[in-house]
Structure 1
Amino acid sequence: MGVVLTALYLAAVCWFTLRPLSATWMAAGNFTPLHTIRADLALGPAAAARNIGGGLLLLAPLGVLLPLAGGRLDVPPVVSFARTVFTGLMLSFCFEAGRTGMAGQVLDVDALLLNTTGVALAHLLVVPAARAALRRRRGSRRRGHQPDREPQSRTPMMSGVGAAR
């Protein structure tokens, strides 16, 4: 289910971000970190919230969907976070690189920063708590439902037989 949801979300993001825009003029690409964010902040609080918030929210669901697609509960939190953020960064880079070929759209390094930050925040806010809850539920299910069977005895050991060296 996680893989299907992730694929559907990525298809929707591709459709929204990789279509040509009709624009009478186009700004130059931005390769200076935080330049676009500063320009958005200079536009005022409403425009800054819309532009910066949109950048943060665009790929944020991937912070939850990517670990869900993996389906593993016993991954160390640091590994899960690093893997998810790196994948989010690479997907954001692919979208930004793909946008440069579309009319009216250019590469913006700040979009990479905002998209990756959104993935990281969503992961930190949801995944550790969700995994802990699922582990507790799995543990209580294992403890609560024990099938009736005889206890297993230990494997018989032969004394006097040494280990091969």
Structure 2
Amino acid sequence: MQRQEAGHSAVIPLRHRTLSGALLAAHLLLVGWLTLRPLDVPWAAAANLTPLEGIRAALEAGPVEAARRIGEGLALLAPLGVLLPLISGRITPSAPAAWSSLARTAAAGALVSVGIGMLQTAVPGRAVDIDSALLNTAGVVLAHLAVVPALRARRRRSRILSQGATPRITRVGLGPWTDVLSAVQREY
């Protein structure tokens, strides 16, 4: 049986944490390959440093193109929203810790996205797009909100089922030595 730590945190088994770490490494390698390989284009797009300008342009291009571009931006780093809390080793059920977990995960997703954007400046055919950082971070947050609460509930249910029924004690009386001990205390 696993020990319950302070703050009522459900500790994740080491094998799940190791698997999550391997999945995170594989995902980041895939993201690096998709976003940091050079493009063979005759021209390079200008950097987009105005927030929501690229999203607005995608919406003007039509609903199919907008769904594709926005969906790609949301999905690129979305697995980080689930894998990062799993790697940390805890899925905390209390409300304040849940919000701090979301904030840490969102900050890590934003840092990874901005880091990719900075690395893209050195890659031929790639340009920085602030909207991709916004969409990537939103994807991390949405994945965290969609999956992690369900994992918390499942973990709590499995812990309750594994502990079994709570023993019931019908009556607890005084111990047999209480009369002797109370007499000894009166003598001193």
Matched, 1:29 2:50: no
Give the fraction of aligned pairs with identical amino acids, expressed as a percent. 49
Q: Give the equivalent residue in structure 1 for 2:38.
A: 20
Distance between the aligned counterparts of 1:79 and 1:142, measured in 2?
28
Q: Is 1:105 aligned to 2:133, yes or no?
A: no
CA RMSD of superposed structures (Å): 1.7
Among residues 52, 62, 65, which one is paired with 2:83 in the alignment?
Answer: 65
- Given the superposition, is the C-alpha separation of residues 25 and 132 from structure 1 closer, same or farther in structure 2, using an over 3 Å criterion? same
Query: What's the CA shift for 1:2?
Result: 1.1
Structure 2 residue matching 1:32: 3-state secondary structure: coil
Residue of structure 1 equivalent to 2:142: 121
Deviation at residue 139 of structure 1 after TM alignment: 2.5
Question: C-alpha distance in 2, partners of 1:33/1:141?
Answer: 49
Take 1:144 and 1:68, find their aligned partners in 2: how far apart are those partners?
A: 28
Q: How big is each residue's C-alpha offset from its partner over 1:90-136, in whole Å with a ceiling of 9 and x where there is no partner?
A: 00011111111100001110001000000000000110111121122
**C-alpha contact (below 8 Å) 1:2/1:71 kept by paired residues:** no
Q: Which runs of 5+ in 1 are unaligned?
A: 147-159, 161-165
Q: Which amino acid aligns with 2:125?
A: G
Amino acid at match of 1:103: P
CA distance 1:16–1:145, shift in 2 (3 Å): farther
The alpha carbon displacement at 1:145 in A equals 10
2:116 corresponds to 1:95? yes
The two structures have a TM-score, normalised by structure 1, of 0.84
Aligned partners of 1:29 and 1:108 also within 8 Å = yes
Q: Is the 8 A contact 1:2 1:65 kept in 2?
A: yes
| Cα separation, 2, equivalents of 1:11 and 1:74 | 28
Distance 1:23 1:117 in 2: 29
TM-score normalized with structure 2 length = 0.74
Change (3 A) 1:140 1:42: same
- Deviating beyond 4 angstroms after TM superposition, the runs of 4 or more aligned structure 1 residues are none
CA separation in 2, counterparts of 1:3 and 1:103?
31
Task: After TM superposition, give the deviation of residue 73 of structure 1 in Å.
Answer: 2.3
**1:42 corresponds to:** 60
| Alpha-carbon distance in 2 for matches of 1:133, 1:34 | 37
Separation in 1, partners of 2:117, 2:69? 16
5+ residue gaps, structure 2: 1-18, 168-184
